[in-house]
Amino acid sequence: MLENLDHLDGPVLQRILRRTVLLTIVIGGLAIVVALLFAPPLTAVGMVLGLALAIFNLRFLDAGVAKVQGTGEGSGKVLRRMLRTKSAWRLAAITVIAVALLLISLPLGMGLVIGLVIYQVIFVINVARIIFVQGGAL
């Protein structure tokens, strides 16, 4: 299934990213309301932070991919390596933030982790849906 990701064109990827952000905002908003009703308020604050970090990471990733696609083949390898390195550093920073918040305040940290998980599940579902829908064309 993952080898099919290379065959997705720019507009399809943009649609996946746009749908992911919109669904993350809608479903994340509903989850925040549920958290406000049934959990400590810091959990909802953490969820907002987690959703914001996930969308922030996606925006930087999207900008990096656009930069790689806009260059020639010669410098593309260097840019892809830089993109991987920057992505790894961003994910490491998000992980450090999540662990630190879990240690400082469990409700806040758990909310952040839940926000990140909500985003990731939506992203994986969107990518899988597109791959299965276009599976015959790939």
- pLDDT per residue as tens digits for the range 4-33: 555 555 677 778 888 999 999 999 999 999
Residue 2 has a pLDDT of: 46
Checking if the pLDDT of 88 tops 60, the result is: yes
Among 59, 74, 76, residue whose Cα is nearest residue 24? 59
Average pLDDT value for residue range 102-128: 94
Rounded to an integer, the average pLDDT of 31-38 is 95
b vs e for 57-91, b when ≥16 Cβ sit within 10 Å of the residue's Cβ?
Answer: bbeebeebbeebeeeeeeeeeebeeebeeeeeebe
Scan for tokens 């990733």, then name that residue: 61
Q: How many structural domains is the chain composed of?
A: 1
In a domain, 94, yes or no: yes
Q: Is 67 contained in some domain?
A: yes
- Per the CB < 8 A criterion, the answer to whether 16 and 131 are in contact is no
pTM: 0.80
In a domain, residue 89? The reply is yes
**The residue to which tokens 């925040």 are assigned:** 32
Average confidence (pLDDT) over 73-94? 75
Q: Determine the Cα–Cα distance for residues 96 and 124; give it in Å rounded to an integer.
A: 23
Q: What percent of the chain has pLDDT over 90?
A: 49
In terms of residue numbers, what domain contains 111?
Answer: 8-133
Domain contains 12: yes
pLDDT, average across residues 76-102: 83
Q: Taking Cα atoms as reference points, which of 131, 129, 101 lies closest to residue 115?
A: 101
Residue 98 lies in a domain: yes
pLDDT at 40 over 60: yes
Structure tokens at 24: 């993350």
Q: Please state the rounded mean pLDDT for residues 56-81.
A: 68
- Average pLDDT of every residue of the chain: 83
For residue 138, is pLDDT > 50? Answer: no
Residue 17, pLDDT score: 84
Asked, for residue 82, whether it belongs to a domain, the answer is yes
